[in-house]
Chain A
């Protein structure tokens, strides 16, 4: 079975500071990992994904994520936060060895960037 956890319901950061949104996962095989962002009254937007290769993945809007197999984590990061980054962030995992193409989404983390 595949599962994903986002341990923080909310992350607060000051504009200009680095941000990290945490995600850990559990799969039986090698994971496919995704980050999505949801702005108010909008659908989810794809940010980035890890399938294979370099552990540091770069995505949209200056975000990046680091795949750490030993810690089963895929934390989302940005060197300098913007107020406009305030949104709901979802981590998702898929275990291709399980034969399913359906990712499991985390509960989401609300990122609040203060001016």
Chain B
């Protein structure tokens, strides 16, 4: 079974630039999550999708972050404009259903200069 795929693996941008991350969940997983993991901290949820609908985006900084999951499969997370404090690892996870364990992708490490 293929795991959760994410790209790119690494990204370096300057502040005020925009960046986009892509995630392909495990086939058949209806639930998809984006997490932000700052160095030394546990993952923090940004947004949860159930199929192509948003379930929880209460912790997403909507003035600069956006996410979509077209057709209920792949998802993209965008930051525009980026700030220095956005430097983190962005993890995508999927789950067969909301009450099951998560399967995480390798993450995208973002450095904002």
- Size range of the chain A interface in the assembly: 20 to 34
Chain A: CB-nearest residue to B44 = A105
A90 to chain B, nearest CB (A): 6
Question: Which residues does chain B contribute within 8 Å of A32, judged by CB atoms?
Answer: 99
Is B41 within 8 A of A107, CB to CB?
yes
Q: How far is the CA of A53 from the CA of B106 in the complex (A)?
A: 32
Interface size on B, residues (CB 8 A): 24
Is B91 within 8 A of A43, CB to CB?
yes
Chain B: CB-nearest residue to A47 = B101
* Known contacts A34-B101, A43-B91, A92-B42, then 14 further A-B pairs from the complex at CB < 8 Å, ordered by chain A residue: A32-B99, A36-B102, A42-B106, A42-B107, A43-B4, A43-B6, A44-B91, A49-B101, A90-B42, A101-B31, A102-B45, A103-B102, A107-B41, A107-B42
